[in-house]
Structure 1
Amino acid sequence: MGDWTTTADGRKGRRPRALSPLREHVRDTFWFAPTAAMLLVLVVWAAAAEADARIVEALRESGDYESLKELLKFADDARVVVTTVSSAMMTFIGVVFSISLVALQMASGQFSPRVVRIFVRSRISKATFAVFLATFVLSLLVLTGFDGERDPRLVVSVPLVQSLLTLLMVGLSLLLFVMYVNAMLRLMRVGHVIDRITREAFRVIARTTAPASGRDPAPDAGPVALGPVTAQVIHHGRAGVLRDVHVSRLVRAARRQGVVLRLIPRIGDFVVPGTPVLAVHGGATPAPRRLRGTVSVGVERTFHQDLSFGLRQLSDIALRALSAAVNDPTTAVQALDRIVQFLAAVAGRPLDTSLHRDRRGEMRLVQPVPGWTELVDLAFTEIRGCAVGTPQVTRRMTAGLDDLLRITPAGRRAPLVRHRELLAQAVERAVPEAADRAFALTPDRQGIG
């Protein structure tokens, strides 16, 4: 039996599969899908070549040389088509690569460098490159299968199935090209980028937090009582950002040892060699081989288990939009819409820690996550500092804070009240006219219409 955890809707469900972190790391790379497609096309081509050889062999054994002559005529026409395809696919690949570079440059310059990973993780981009490269490789392999022998009695193979497969791949490439251009045009629009970030952030909310249950602490219930620290696990790998941890393996290691493990740094923290990453409560440290590969460190943050990374990206987009170089307050309002949506989703959920239990329901891993105050500060502090001279943004922020005050539990309203007061004070200092100050602080969910 596998380990169990509490899902975002409060139900008991199976813990993510053991390869979950690896799957996410593969999605953050661009080389895997094209490489896998080219290896797969080698297998498909070998099967198609075998099928062609058996077709020719069957016709020769039956003495149907007329059909073989027709196949040889087909081969002459197919050679021209496949040769054209092999040369045209490289041009297609160049066009797709150029579109991708333009999209990446635009996203990095206008939105935020951190949103580039959306394009890297785009399934349609990977599928398009993979199919284009596979079609190019297949066309080259098919060209090697054409036999120069013209005598039907001596011909060994005619690439009939291979040629038809190449034409099928060309059709698939054209379809994917249209879908790819449509997807890139959508991702060049800030509204779709913000929506994509929000959807990723909500997946993280579902994985890392859950509504308060009978066993888990209610919102703001304080730290979990774990007892004294009996040992620590030191990080010996490279320095970098803590991207994620292998939850399933850590839970199994803690269960076998009869201890509780607590992750010391938060996901997204920068760790250096020699610093402790895991605290052990209630016993000795699990065997090093059971902990090997359970902590992943990289050069940048990822969405996989990082609860605040979505807010960080939304805040960056808003800050870039409010800069003097861009001066696009409407984009900042769009980002604030999603920031309020994110905070509303976590307002009633237990934060500060994420608890992972084994199949018997015993707590085995405690993972720190940002608290409510930290999320609110991340959402509004920097934007408030840049928005005081833009009434469209201050009006939207005021409306968002008011909406959150209505739906947030009483114990969590203090940081929202603080930010509303700081916003009013900042506007009062920056705007000299009383009428303008009153206008800038009037709640408006659209900013200024």
Structure 2
Amino acid sequence: MRSFILRSRESFWFLPGVLGLTAIVLAEALVALDRFLLAEGDGQVLFLDVLSASGGRAILEIIGTSMLTVAATSFSITISVLATTSSTYGPRLVRNFLADRANQLVLASFTATFLYALVVLRSVRTVEDGGNDFVPVISTNVAVLLGILNVAVLVFFIHHIADSVQITTLQRRVQTDLTRAVDLIYPADPAASSVQAAVPPVLSPEAVPASTHGYVERVDLAALCEIARAHDCVIDVVAMPGVHRIAGEDLVRVSPGRPAEEMADAVRAAFTLGVARTPHQDVRFAMQQLVEVAVRGLASGSNDPYTAVTALDLAATALVPVLSREPAATGLTDDAGHLRVLLHWPTPEDLIGDVFGGVETYGLDHPLVVRAALGLAERLAAVATTPTVTSVLTDTVRRLESARA
């Protein structure tokens, strides 16, 4: 369920669909209110002027037509921005635009107003249509109010879309995803169930294979812990978020004993596989998005080393907490303190390698980038607490100094 919610939030259909249904319900409710007031004999509602059928229809037709036109234009502009961003800064950044609530809300506002006007329009009646005249005064005036509100939404959209294509905005979005992933895997206040676990000496662990193919987008660790507790076993998660699996390859290894089919189905249900990696639990992918923006700025067609410098500065906001906090949990325990789930999160060395690997491959010809990379290495060395991290940073600095010389 949580995976469905996450995917829905990153789509252009969910919020417009919800607001569209809300608009239809609101229109029907207000039309019913107009009918009730007319039946009660209130010819004039509050301070609202009585409208003629032709006048009410004209207002609703103008609002409905204009909103649909503006919605189509806004959607075209958004698609154009997506195409430009994809080709310039990387196709993986398209997800950030799809997940942008502002873009979703703008599209939802226009489409919902169109549906509202359409539903209200069908209720307008004249003598020629058969029956008595009926013009929903309240409903029509609400449509006018929505039209005025959508003018402000359009102005906001123009500003927002212009701000969205700025490289600083793109990098800030990527940094936000990275920070969330870091806080999830390297929390400042680890949960009591998160432990540094040694691999238990188990014999012949049995695997639970994947039933489909794709990238592991999310793993429900709480569900796995409960499954392991219920079956009194240890589950070793070999397919962590970001790993690609095809049908038949191992998702987890269970020990001791062979997992029953019911348990295997429950384990598979805890994994969400998709066509692409996402940064929700995949901290390396979140970091690689930031590196990709920097690398594309160093391309010969762009020749923008300042983008890479900014990306290295933003990387420090994630790497410094990683090095200064407790290591990522390698195991989860149940309420009784028994080890139930084994984890294999990326190490700080992996993240450092992802950042400096891009610099060493594409940025050595740019003195500004090399200087920024050395500055990042110094900041990380100041908070490094393990010999392995210190060794990796020392080797990195040595290679960068050699390249600069």
TM-score of the aligned structures, taking structure 2 as reference length: 0.90
Output the amino acid matched with 2:25. Answer: V
Change (3 A) 1:77 1:355: farther
The answer to whether the 8 A contact 1:351-1:370 is kept is no
Does residue 159 in structure 1 map to residue 141 in structure 2?
Answer: no
CA distance in 2, matches of 1:36, 1:110: 33
Which residue of structure 1 lines up, in the alignment, with residue 175 of structure 2? 198
Does residue 366 in structure 1 map to residue 342 in structure 2?
Answer: yes
Output the amino acid matched with 1:83. Answer: E
The answer to whether the 8 A contact 1:254-1:261 is kept is yes
Which residue of structure 1 lines up, in the alignment, with residue 314 of structure 2? 338
Output the amino acid matched with 1:105. Answer: A
Shift of the alpha carbon at 1:54? 0.7
Alignment map for 1:37-76 (pairs within 5 Å): 37-59=19-41, 73-76=51-54
Does residue 230 in structure 1 map to residue 212 in structure 2?
Answer: no
Output the amino acid matched with 1:384. Answer: E
Aligned residue for 1:241, secondary structure, equals strand
- 2:237 corresponds to which of 263, 273, 296: 263
The answer to whether the 8 A contact 2:185-2:328 is kept is no
The answer to whether the 8 A contact 2:206-2:258 is kept is yes
Which residue of structure 2 lines up, in the alignment, with residue 444 of structure 1? none
Which residue of structure 1 lines up, in the alignment, with residue 325 of structure 2? 349
Change (3 A) 1:163 1:386: same
CA distance in 1, matches of 2:236, 2:180: 23
- 1:102 corresponds to which of 41, 62, 80: 80
CA distance in 1, matches of 2:37, 2:205: 71
Unmatched runs of 5 consecutive residues or more in structure 2: none
CA distance in 2, matches of 1:269, 1:66: 66
Residue by residue over 1:209-254, the C-alpha shift from the partner in whole angstroms, topping out at 9 and shown as x without a partner, is 2358687556xxxx633331532111111x2211111233222222
Comparing 79-88 with 155-164, greater Cα deviation is found at: 155-164
Aligned residue for 1:368, secondary structure, equals coil
Alignment map for 1:341-420 (pairs within 5 Å): 341-351=317-327, 353-411=329-387, 412-420=389-397
CA distance in 2, matches of 1:227, 1:349: 29
Change (3 A) 1:317 1:422: same
Change (3 A) 1:289 1:277: closer
Change (3 A) 1:292 1:264: closer
CA distance in 2, matches of 1:333, 1:350: 28
TM-score of the aligned structures, taking structure 1 as reference length: 0.82
The answer to whether the 8 A contact 1:56-1:158 is kept is no
Alignment map for 1:136-151 (pairs within 5 Å): 136-149=114-127
Which residue of structure 2 lines up, in the alignment, with residue 117 of structure 1? 95
Shift of the alpha carbon at 1:290? 2.6
Change (3 A) 1:233 1:405: same
Aligned residue for 1:78, secondary structure, equals helix
Which residue of structure 2 lines up, in the alignment, with residue 207 of structure 1? 184
Output the amino acid matched with 1:261. Answer: I
CA distance in 1, matches of 2:336, 2:155: 51
Which residue of structure 2 lines up, in the alignment, with residue 23 of structure 1? 5
Shift of the alpha carbon at 1:404? 1.0
- 1:183 corresponds to which of 138, 160, 181: 160
* Cα RMSD (Å): 2.6
Shift of the alpha carbon at 1:311? 1.0
CA distance in 2, matches of 1:354, 1:319: 32
- 1:247 corresponds to which of 197, 215, 221: 221
Aligned residue for 1:90, secondary structure, equals helix
CA distance in 1, matches of 2:242, 2:267: 20
CA distance in 2, matches of 1:394, 1:345: 23
The answer to whether the 8 A contact 1:57-1:156 is kept is no
Comparing 172-181 with 268-277, greater Cα deviation is found at: 172-181
CA distance in 2, matches of 1:407, 1:201: 19
Output the amino acid matched with 1:122. Answer: D
Shift of the alpha carbon at 1:196? 1.2
CA distance in 1, matches of 2:44, 2:378: 83
The answer to whether the 8 A contact 1:311-1:379 is kept is yes
Shift of the alpha carbon at 1:419? 0.8
Output the amino acid matched with 1:138. Answer: Y
Aligned residue for 2:251, secondary structure, equals strand
Aligned-residue identity in percent = 23
Residue by residue over 1:360-409, the C-alpha shift from the partner in whole angstroms, topping out at 9 and shown as x without a partner, is 55443333211111111101012122111111111111111111111111
Unmatched runs of 5 consecutive residues or more in structure 1: 1-18, 428-436, 438-449
Shift of the alpha carbon at 1:109? 2.1
Aligned residue for 2:40, secondary structure, equals helix
